[in-house]
Amino acid sequence: MKNNLLSGLTVGIIALPLSMALAIATGVPPQLGLYTAIIAGIFAAIFGSSKINISGPTAAFVVILIPIVQEFGVTGLLLCGLLSGIILIFIGALKLGTLIELIPYPVTVGFTSGIAVVIATFQIKDFFGLSIEDFNGSYLDKIYLIFTSFHTINFSEFSIGLLTLFLLILWQKTKSKIPSALIALTITTIVVAFLNIYVPTANISTIASTFSYQIGDLQGNGIPPIPLQFSLPWAHLELQEINLELIYRLLPHAIAIAILGALESLLCAVISDGMTGNKTNPNKELIGQGITNIIVPFFGGIPATAAIARTVVNIKSGATSKLSSIIHALFVLVSITFLSTYLSYLPMASLSALLLVVAWNMSEVKHFRNIIQVAPKDDVYVLLTCFSLTVLFDMQIAVAVGIGLASILFIKRTIDLYSIELINTKNLTAHPDIPQNISIYDINGPMFFGAAQNALKTLLNTNEDTNTVILNMQNVSMIDMTAIVALKSIVENFESKEKKLIFCGLNERIIKKLEKANFNLNKENLNSFKSLEESIFYAKKL
């Protein structure tokens, strides 16, 4: 109990500024990130499978959410989160969680490294205090805007950003149990408050000077002191605007959010299970994340998933149960209620510095470099493709292409496992007297569409002197429809040339598939035996 209480408070201290920073980076008011941390921290813990995962807004989502906010606004973002929750429940209910875990490592590293680069780039504006009125457009457009706006640098804000960065890095090296974000942001907030009051020319941006709110008759600057309010995600849309066309436009974004959220949450589960020895049910975890993302938009929260960094801190702080996640959420709730005025004094440059550290930690620089140096070329190409698409285009394209590349890579490597080889009679010491009219082919690996065509070409080009072919399929684990059609073509070709085909070592599952496809394995020119010895013995008698 005590350990979970302390770990929950520790993670809550980290989640408080980070949730605001991530919401700001996404393009929405900071309180939406806090609402997300509260709801996700409670409901993901209750409905999910993991005992110690911490869910909330994550850096992985920033890149994928920015275009949604720019095109559809906050309401569109909330609807996307709702749709992604429904999709996650379907993925979990169909027990596809184990398939998502099979996404190749170069794909996930490409995503995360690309996201880190984009997040770091977008923080340059506030870190240097640049004056850019319309910071929209593609990644290259924003790079151009940053470089052409460096003459507007605010050295006061830049100094605060540097001070925050220095304190974050320095405090981490002390290995103190007190979170570095608490120390760094507390010091810089006090410094900025002093400068803004006593040095008017400093003009350092804070949450209060950047954001305002109006909730009913209550209005003000910074973070509203109202913790949570239930509202419909589509409350700001006119009724006639909610139609199938809008859903169709939001659906690709929702699918991308769901897939990325599933990847992030399951990767977090794998890491936390490795550290604790727990066993997370991937499908139940996805259903829990889905339920969470359905509930979050009704309280104004943005899409959420399991956060790896906060989960690791939770484990290292001694968490053993779901109570720590709930405590962390309640800490954020209490902080909004009683400390919203003080939180509003947080400098924008400091939050940018915090996100720069987050971006560096998630950049996977060592793993990225290691893949480039030691991985096969196919993995390197996949890594660079996913990385480039994430940075230069958007996550929607990157996720689609990444999963496509993962599938192609899997198919290619599965085909590489397949082989069909003519066995030289000299190597058959057990049967040295096999006649020249008998050819024995040893087939290894799964037979599906890619491998089936290879088998078809090989067997159709058998020597004219050969009138009996034995296919040793003891090491064939599976066969698909394309391979069945290819085998039928071989049988028909052999019948026309009055050649005989003998299957050897077929497993029961493959025999049933062939019989269902109308293969008669007891015909004069088509037979099947369990062992190679039986097949050779029968072929000699023909």
Q: 255-281, pLDDT tens digit by residue?
A: 999 998 998 898 888 888 888 888 889
Nearest Cα to 440, choosing from 378, 307, 532, 317? 532
Q: Are residues 402 and 488 in the same domain?
A: no
Strand partners of residue 215: 218
Q: What is the pLDDT of residue 411?
A: 76
Domain shared by 406 and 424, yes or no: no
CATH number at residue 425: 3.30.750.24
Same domain, 388 and 532: no
DSSP state for residue 225 in the 8-state scheme: S
Same-domain pairing of 130 and 153: yes
Tell me: do 75 and 53 sit in the same domain. Answer: yes
Q: Residue by residue, what is the 3-state secondary structure of 10-55? A: HHHHHHHHHHHHHHHHHCCCHHHHHHHHHHHHHHHHHHCCCCCCCE
| Residues 469 and 500 both lie in one domain | yes
User: Do residues 90 and 138 both lie within one domain?
Assistant: yes
423 and 406 fall within a common domain: no
Output the 3-class SS for 82-125: HHHHHHHHHHHHCCCHHHHCCCCHHHHHHHHHHHHHHHHHHHHH
Structure confidence at residue 85 (pLDDT): 97
Residue type at position 72: F
pLDDT of residue 238: 47
For residues 343 and 318, membership in a common domain is answered with yes
Taking 50 as the pLDDT cut, the residues of the chain under it are 238-240, 426
Per-residue confidence (pLDDT) for residue 255, from 0 to 100: 92
Same domain, 145 and 242: yes
Pick the last residue of a domain from 369, 392, 411: 411
Per residue in 491-508, pLDDT tens? 888 888 788 888 888 888
Shared domain check, 449 and 351: no
Q: Where does a domain end: 351, 386, 411? A: 411
pTM: 0.81
List the domain range (segments joined by +) for residue 325: 2-411
Q: Is residue 187 domain-shared with residue 319, that is, in the same domain?
A: yes
Given a contact cutoff of 8 angstroms between Cβ atoms, the answer to whether 517 and 487 are in contact is no
Predicted confidence at residue 507, as pLDDT, reads: 86
411, 443, 469 - which closes a domain? 411
Residue reference for tokens 């009724």 = 239
Give the pair of three-digit tokens for residue 402.
């990444």
Torsion sign, CA atoms 40, 44, 46, 52: negative
- Pairing of β 212-215 and β 438-444: unpaired
Stretch (H or E) spanning 373: helix 365-374
Total domains present in the chain: 2
| C-beta separation of 437 from 455 below 8 A | no
Give, to the nearest 10 degrees, the angle between helix 139-148 and helix 105-128: 30
Helix or strand holding residue 305 (H, E): strand 305-306
